[in-house]
Chain A
Amino acid sequence: MLLIRAIVRPEKKDDVLAELSGAGFNAATMVDVVGRGKQKGIKIGGMVYDEIPKILILMVIPDGDKEKVTEIILKTARTGTDGTFGDGKIFVSPVEEAYTISRNSKGL
């Protein structure tokens, strides 16, 4: 199993989640976060904005679905045809075990 952490623009959140749900990946958790990337935030005049609001989407998926899920997020979270700075990032980490509390069962 893999944990996908995707940081996306707040305005793209609904598109990404709807697309994922349509492809059969309904389960997801989201958190409002603020952050900056390698452009060191946005500089407007003399003011630097380095706490840019984003949405962090967390989802745990079977190993084999990694390509599918990342492809969906990459396609829907991008702005414009070539993408823009600030479109976000995807991180993938391993998950060893998963438990469902309602059923007291192991696995996704």
Chain B
Amino acid sequence: MKEIMAIVRMKKTGATKKALVAAGVAGFTAIRVLGRGKLITDPRELEACREKLLAMGLDDFSDAGDTEKLVTSFLDGSRFFPRRLFTILAHDDDVPRIIEAITRANQTEYRIGDGTIFVLPVQDAVRVRTRESGEAAIW
């Protein structure tokens, strides 16, 4: 029995849910969290990301200096971004399939900030309705 914790983009909640159903996993718990990841140190990737973000922010209303400041705070790793944390209980054999499904649904062209998946061991689970425990309580 394993617990899969997947932290994904808010926008990808729907896609993740669909992918989970397609992978044969119906049950999950999802909460809103704030998160930040490890620092990206490769200057080439940072520069590419920065240019893309700056281009997005430039319009008639916003000030170039403000936009620059905001984009810098996005990339220096100190800011927390809203994310969705999915918690899924799964049988051992299903874990690779679920990870594959979540990864495929969540990858974007940005290459930064798509989230992480953690797999934790679980000792026991109990279904409240029937008092079934262990593997039978998962689904």
Contact = CB atoms under 8 A, between A and B. Distances in A.
Interface of A: 1, 3, 21, 26-31, 58, 60, 93-104, 108
B37 to A, nearest CB: 5
B118 A104 contact: no
Nearest to A29: B35
Given A27-B36, A95-B118, 19 more contacts: A21-B78, A26-B37, A26-B38, A28-B35, A29-B33, A29-B35, A30-B80, A60-B118, A93-B120, A95-B119, A97-B118, A98-B116, A100-B114, A101-B106, A101-B117, A102-B107, A102-B110, A102-B112, A108-B38
B interface, size bucket: 35 or more
B34 interface: yes
Contacts of A100: 114, 116
Interface string B92-108: 00010001001100111
25 contacts: A1-B118, A3-B118, A21-B77, A26-B77, A27-B36, A27-B37, A29-B35, A30-B34, A31-B33, A31-B34, A31-B85, A60-B116, A60-B118, A94-B121, A95-B118, A97-B99, A99-B103, A99-B117, A100-B114, A101-B114, A102-B107, A102-B110, A102-B112, A102-B114, A104-B103
B36 A28 contact: yes
Contacts of A95: 118-120
Contact of A96 (B35, B110, B121): B121
A70 B80 CA distance: 21
Interface of B: 2, 7-8, 31-39, 77-78, 80, 83, 85, 95, 99, 102-103, 106-108, 110-121
